[in-house]
Amino acid sequence: MTRITGSRAARIRECAYSKTLQPRSSITNVALLPRNVAPSVAESISMMPAGLIIRARRDQAWSATLQNRTSPMEADLTTAASETKGARKNVRRSMVAGIITFMPDYRAIAEKLQQILGTGRHPVAVAYLDSAPPGVARFEGSQPSSCSFWRLAAEGRSFYTVPGDHFNCPIGSYTHKTITSERMPELQQTLDLMSEIGYIRMEEIPGVFQLAETPAVVTYAPLAETPVEPSVVIVAGKPGRVMVLAEAAIRAGMMSQLPLLGRPTCMALPAALSNGAVTSAACIGNRVYTEIGEDELYIVLRGQDLEAIAAEIETIRSANATLTGYHQERRQTLTV
């Protein structure tokens, strides 16, 4: 691992130990610490590879965004270290101009989601990015649909796709905004077929959710292993299990006002990204390509809401356990 020495390291130390935490200019050094460790400030500086020192623009809006998510490095680092050894031992940490940021423990959240849903299937983290993240392999091969990538990630694979990987599915290409003018006739043919057999009405098409921008790459990974912060997370389960997760999202204030979504299933991703958590009954194509059961539904969570939703799960589980006994007693005593 490359050590940072000389004036470069000195500048970082100066910034890291600054009591004012004010940058010398609108550009400030940003250093990212390795995952799942709680090194001292000095150790973190010395062990950072040069490739992880990046340049980031720091302006008033950026600083305001950090205020509610970070704590000054001059704060008691013993407390921060003890937190990582305890409940937050797998926390991902990064140092931004002398500020330690605590990233979500996606592994713990994934385990909680799987426990609630009662499934061994991995929650799928999907991220829409401008470029491929380091260390993530590009998808090789071909899949018949965009939602086929969900199945691969749910089975444990991590990879990224480019727009062309989605071309086999004109509907998925539409919702992901990757469809090109050359591919539009194929989309029209698919819609004509669906309309002719009575599956859809053409007037429904404008109501299909679509990404606001075309992503250069899309990463898919089990949530516990996601290489980046996910844009959305996809989980599936039986209705009673999905109910608990939806109620946790409602309690957290992260549930959208959208009704249960239907076809196409892939529109649930842009819908969640722009509105908050959504539920979906899926569609027949998705059920064929992903092999989820006929007795399962989807719930798609916005990545930025995961911690808030996960924090409410135990409250909702406990409340439902209490209410189960309450309603069972009422049923027994009030039924004649």
Using H for helix, E for strand and C for coil, what is the string for 277-321? Answer: EEEECCCHHHHHHHCCCCCCEEEEEEHHHHHHHHHHHHHHHHHHH
Q: Are 109 and 306 in contact (CB under 8 A)?
A: yes
Give 293's Cβ-side CA count (13 Å radius): 8
H helices then E strands: how many in the chain? Answer: 12, 11
Query: In the structure, what pLDDT confidence band is assigned to residue 103 with cuts at 50, 70 and 90?
Result: low
Would you call 183 helix, strand, or coil by DSSP?
Answer: helix
Quick: pLDDT tens for 162-211.
999 999 999 988 998 988 888 889 889 989 999 999 998 999 888 999 99
- pTM score, whole prediction: 0.71
Residue 28: phi, psi to the nearest 5? Answer: -135, 155
Amino acid (1-letter code) at residue 110: A
Q: Strands, DSSP E only, in 118-188? A: 124-129, 159-161
Question: Using omega within 30 degrees of 0 as the cis cutoff, is the peptide bond preceding 259 cis?
Answer: no
335's CB contacts (< 8 A; 6+ apart) are none
Residue 282: phi, psi to the nearest 5? Answer: 70, -170
Q: Are 201 and 236 in contact (CB under 8 A)?
A: no
Summarize the confidence of residues 307-334 as an average pLDDT: 95
Instruction: Please state, in angstroms and rounded to a whole number, the distance separating the CA atoms of residues 288 and 154.
Output: 15
Residue 102: phi, psi to the nearest 5? Answer: -105, 120
Of the listed ranges 98-112, 189-203, 322-336, the least confidently predicted one is: 98-112
Of the listed ranges 5-14, 80-89, 185-194, the least confidently predicted one is: 80-89
% of the chain at pLDDT higher than 70: 69
Summarize the confidence of residues 72-78 as an average pLDDT: 38
Residue 82: the pLDDT is 42
- CB atoms under 10 Å from CB of 250, counted, come to 16
Q: Are 89 and 36 in contact (CB under 8 A)?
A: yes
Would you call 87 helix, strand, or coil by DSSP?
Answer: coil
Q: Are 235 and 115 in contact (CB under 8 A)?
A: no
Q: Are 136 and 160 in contact (CB under 8 A)?
A: yes
Query: In the structure, what pLDDT confidence band is assigned to residue 131 with cuts at 50, 70 and 90?
Result: very high
Residue 102: the pLDDT is 61
Residue 92: the pLDDT is 43
135: left (phi over 0), alpha (psi -120 to 50) or beta: left
- Asked whether residue 133 carries a pLDDT value surpassing 70, the answer given is yes
Quick: pLDDT tens for 243-276.
999 999 999 999 999 999 999 999 999 999 999 9
Name the average pLDDT for the chain. 77
Which of the two residues, 65 and 308, has the higher pLDDT score? 308
Residue 178: the pLDDT is 87
